[in-house]
């Protein structure tokens, strides 16, 4: 049963009608008092609660009710309905434990979608996590993801559980930990797998091009718009959009993004009628968005909108037990692709690999393994072979650190030296530094380095 709490009879009846037509059983409550009477005795599967009771316009009453409901029914997902202007209320509600919020006037499809997602995620019987990799692989497709450490198993269990829902997912973790791979796996295991997976690197899109890139434009919409352009949201319709480096989005673009995520509608530049899309949102960042929210550089409402579910990927140094499997996987892939004989690692070589700090995470391990194989050209690798490559690489990157230099000055100097070494080849520089090309672009911009 879904409990609708609203003091406006028109809203109660239109929501009841919508939900009953969608096949749900519905109960309604007119006031917080009546709502508490109900939840005290019955456990609804979900609660839909309007925050703006007519008695107090501040929404305080709604927040108090939410807290009370959470005491009686901590497991029951609550979806809040708020006015568009009272987003901060929705944010407070999310902090109090609401599952999601929608703004008035709501979009029926978006609301039903959120309800469906909440109910799916709350299903108990299907939620028994798999114990090991074999059990997971029997039911799901994670063939590109290597590893069987308990941390990875836990992550894959979460991905398996949430993939089929439409929940927005935020993937966090250092550069090179496999965030993009996890985003692809969410899509591949979802009902949308046959539709598009569209990756957008928000770190690489300038503020001025954001709208035309994301929403598209009509010919003549602005001076340089010589043809129509389809935006990324349109391309991702019915599928998944992967918003990489979302922490790099400036505040003015954040608000534009929030609008689309709120009601899955946007306007193409130069075309005033709204376009409706059906999109699953997966985002990733290596920034600490919570700190950015506290520092007011990331909108709190957007933060809640994108991370119904958060998946944190640990650094490689925190799951060293996966290193041998990963190293052999990268070796096999490289040799197969290049028609080379199979390469094995001695146990000393594996021990050496397991000891490295990997600031560039799995990407760094992959590069090190590939470099060592290509340079040595032999089918059995010892620790000395790897050590040489590792040292060559790190010593080439050595930066002269003078007393008093700030971290930023050291970073700038490292980038300048690496650019020189690789003759400004940005792909090679990014690989050498263990960061993505977009992350490199941002740093070049930050330090005013022109090449």
Count Cα neighbours of 252 within 13 Å in the Cβ-side half-sphere: 6
Least distance CB 205 / ligand ATP (angstroms): 15
Does residue 147 belong to the site contacting ligand ATP (CB under 6 A)? yes
Least distance CB 173 / ligand ATP (angstroms): 6
Give the Cα separation of 370 and 332 in Å (integer): 10
Does residue 177 belong to the site contacting ligand ATP (CB under 6 A)? yes
* Nearest one of 138, 133, 182 to 162, comparing CA atoms: 182
Least distance CB 438 / ligand ATP (angstroms): 7
Does residue 363 belong to the site contacting ligand ATP (CB under 6 A)? yes
CB 277 within 8 A of CB 265: yes
Does residue 283 belong to the site contacting ligand ATP (CB under 6 A)? no
Does residue 204 belong to the site contacting ligand ATP (CB under 6 A)? no
The pair of structure tokens assigned to 390 is: 């590792």
Q: Of residues 76, 110, 117, 175, which one binds ligand ATP by CB under 6 A?
A: 175
- Binding span for ligand ATP by CB under 6 A among 247-255, 275-283, 400-408, 432-440: 432-440
Least distance CB 344 / ligand ATP (angstroms): 19
Q: Of residues 146, 200, 369, 419, which one binds ligand ATP by CB under 6 A?
A: 146
Does residue 212 belong to the site contacting ligand ATP (CB under 6 A)? no
Least distance CB 148 / ligand ATP (angstroms): 10
- Binding span for ligand ATP by CB under 6 A among 4-12, 128-136, 215-223, 359-367: 359-367
**426-433 vs 437-446: helix axis angle to the nearest 10?**
100
Provide φ and ψ at 434, rounded to 5°.
70, 30
Give the Cα separation of 324 and 322 in Å (integer): 6
- Binding span for ligand ATP by CB under 6 A among 26-34, 54-62, 142-150, 291-299: 142-150
Q: Of residues 362, 429, 433, 440, which one binds ligand ATP by CB under 6 A?
A: 362
Does residue 299 belong to the site contacting ligand ATP (CB under 6 A)? no
Least distance CB 435 / ligand ATP (angstroms): 6
DSSP state of 447: T
Of 300 and 370, the one with the shorter C-beta distance to ligand ATP is: 370
Q: Of residues 7, 27, 45, 180, which one binds ligand ATP by CB under 6 A?
A: 180
CB 297 within 8 A of CB 251: yes
Count of residues that interact with ligand ATP, criterion CB under 6 A = 20
Q: Of residues 178, 204, 239, 247, which one binds ligand ATP by CB under 6 A?
A: 178
Give the torsion through C-alpha atoms of 14, 17, 22, 25, to 10 deg. 120
* 3-class state of residue 139 by DSSP: helix
Stretch (H or E) spanning 29: strand 26-29
| Cis amide linkage into residue 105, ω under 30° from 0 | yes
* Nearest one of 170, 164, 229, 236 to 199, comparing CA atoms: 236
Does residue 286 belong to the site contacting ligand ATP (CB under 6 A)? yes
Does residue 440 belong to the site contacting ligand ATP (CB under 6 A)? no
* Nearest one of 123, 205, 104, 203 to 164, comparing CA atoms: 123
Does residue 179 belong to the site contacting ligand ATP (CB under 6 A)? yes
Least distance CB 322 / ligand ATP (angstroms): 7
Residues in the chain: 451
Is 345 exposed, middle or buried (CB count within 10 Å of its CB: 0-12, 13-18, 19+)?
buried
Which residues have a Cβ under 8 Å from the Cβ of 23 and sit 6 or more positions away? none
Q: Of residues 28, 76, 262, 436, which one binds ligand ATP by CB under 6 A?
A: 436
Q: What is the sign, positive or negative, of the torsion defined by CA atoms of 371, 375, 377, 380?
A: negative
* Nearest one of 425, 422, 324 to 365, comparing CA atoms: 324
Q: Of residues 44, 77, 93, 176, which one binds ligand ATP by CB under 6 A?
A: 176
Does residue 119 belong to the site contacting ligand ATP (CB under 6 A)? no
Binding residues for ligand ATP, rule: CB under 6 A, are 145-147, 173, 175-181, 286, 326, 329, 362-363, 366, 435-436, 439
């Amino acid at each position: 049963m879904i409990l609708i709490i609203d003091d406006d009879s028109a809203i109660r009846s239109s929501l009841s009608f919508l939900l009953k037509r969608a096949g749900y059983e519905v109960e309604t409550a007119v006031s917080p008092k009546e709502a508490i009477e109900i939840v005290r005795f019955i456990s609804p599967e979900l609660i839909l609660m309007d925050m703006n009771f007519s008695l107090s316009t501040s929404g305080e009453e709604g927040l108090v009710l939410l807290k009370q409901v959470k005491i009686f029914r901590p497991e029951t997902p609550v979806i809040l309905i708020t006015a568009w202007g009272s987003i901060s209320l929705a944010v407070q509600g999310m902090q109090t434990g609401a599952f999601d919020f929608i703004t008035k006037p709501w979009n029926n499809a978006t609301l039903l979608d959120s309800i469906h997602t909440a109910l799916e995620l709350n299903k108990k019987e299907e939620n028994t996590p798999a114990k090991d990799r074999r059990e997971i692989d029997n039911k799901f497709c994670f063939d590109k993801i290597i590893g069987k450490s308990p941390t990875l198993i836990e992550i894959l269990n979460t991905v398996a559980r949430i993939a089929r829902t439409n929940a927005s997912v935020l993937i966090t973790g250092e550069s090179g930990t496999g965030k993009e791979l996890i985003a692809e796996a969410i899509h591949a295991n979802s009902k949308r797998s046959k539709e598009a997976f569209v990756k957008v690197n928000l770190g690489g899109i300038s503020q001025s091009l954001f709208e035309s890139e994301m929403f598209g434009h009509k010919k003549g919409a602005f001076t340089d718009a010589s043809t129509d352009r389809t935006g990324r949201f349109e391309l991702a319709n019915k599928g998944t959009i992967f918003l990489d480096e979302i922490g790099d989005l400036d505040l003015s673009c954040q608000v534009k993004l929030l609008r689309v995520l709120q009601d899955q509608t946007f306007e193409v530049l130069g075309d005033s009628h709204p376009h409706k899309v059906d999109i699953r949102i997966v985002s990733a960042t290596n920034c600490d968005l919570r700190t950015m929210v506290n520092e007011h550089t990331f909108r709190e409402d957007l933060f809640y909108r994108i991370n119904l579910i958060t998946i944190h990927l640990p650094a490689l140094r925190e799951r060293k037990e996966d290193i041998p499997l990963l190293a052999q996987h990268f070796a096999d892939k490289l040799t197969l692709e290049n028609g080379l004989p199979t390469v094995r690692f001695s146990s000393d070589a594996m021990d050496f690999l397991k000891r490295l700090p990997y600031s560039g995470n799995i990407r760094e391990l992959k590069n090190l393994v590939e470099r060592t194989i290509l340079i040595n050209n032999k089918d059995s690798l010892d620790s000395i072979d790897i050590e040489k490559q590792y040292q060559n690489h790190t010593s080439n990157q050595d930066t002269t650190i003078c007393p008093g230099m700030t971290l930023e000055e050291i970073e700038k100097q490292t980038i300048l030296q690496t650019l020189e070494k690789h003759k400004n080849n940005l792909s090679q520089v990014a690989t050498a530094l263990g960061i993505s090309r977009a992350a490199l672009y941002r740093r070049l911009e930050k330090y005013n380095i022109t090449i």
